[in-house]
Amino acid sequence: MSSPRILFKLTALLAILAGAVLWLRSDYSPWSEDVGDEVAAVAHAGPIHSLSWLTGCWMHVETGFRRDEQWMEPRGGTMIGMSRTVAGGETVEHEHLRIETRAGAMGDRRLAFVAVPSGQLEATFLQSELSDSVAVFEAPEHDFPQRITYRHEARGLAVATIEGEEEGITRVIEFPMTRTNCP
């Protein structure tokens, strides 16, 4: 192999290594939050951004059971969530949850709360009220509950409420939740 070829290959290799070192030492990450104003504006557009406070992990404890609920941040018009209830050391319930942006009848964008509780069919509740601290979803045709409310009380506190009629009796069940560390 001739000397200029070796020198060219060594120079190219050094340039690649130098670039790799500079990239590794930089703050750039393809998964970082700082991906530009345009992407950030799209991520925070729409009514779902009002529920940003719900992002993270929440815990509700009562005598005999603990319920954990976890929500991903709003992105792409959705929030994905899950919950698990443990009693006596056993999982007694779990639920796959989704809040998604949908086109409303008047062309507006509204939210839908979609729940798939353990052992039950998917149920969809449509937004009836939304602010920066309260979201109310309703499905009058559903058995129980017919209304689901998430209310942001204060830093680190929230209340989830399910309510409706069951066998002619109005029921309201509140689940005070405390923010907790995600696993």
Residue that is written with structure tokens 């449509």 in the block: 126
**pTM listed for this prediction:** 0.76
pLDDT the model gives residue 10: 60
3-state secondary structure of 20: helix
Q: Can you name the residues that pair with 173 across neighbouring β-strands?
A: 162
DSSP 29-50: -TT-S-S-HHHHHHHT-SGGGG
Q: pLDDT confidence of 13, banded at 50, 70, 90?
A: low
As given in the structure block, the two tokens for residue 144 are 């129980």
Cα angle, residue 53 at apex, residues 52 and 58 outer, rounded to 5°: 120
Mean pLDDT, the chain, as a whole number? 85
pLDDT the model gives residue 104: 75
| Overall residue count recorded for the chain in this entry | 183
Q: Can you name the residues that pair with 100 across neighbouring β-strands?
A: 78, 112
pLDDT the model gives residue 55: 97
CATH architecture, domain 48-180: Beta Barrel (2.40)
Sequence spans of domains, the chain = 48-180
Q: Are 180 and 59 in contact (CB under 8 A)?
A: yes
pLDDT the model gives residue 43: 47
Residue 61 has pLDDT above 60, yes or no: yes
As given in the structure block, the two tokens for residue 83 are 């919950």
pLDDT the model gives residue 7: 59
pLDDT the model gives residue 72: 98
pLDDT the model gives residue 120: 96
Convert the pLDDT of each residue in 81-117 to its tens digit.
999 999 999 999 999 999 999 987 777 889 999 999 9
Q: Please tell me the least confidently modeled range out of 26-35, 46-55, 111-120.
A: 26-35
Convert the pLDDT of each residue in 128-177 to its tens digit.
999 999 999 999 999 999 999 999 998 889 999 999 999 999 999 999 99
pLDDT the model gives residue 94: 98
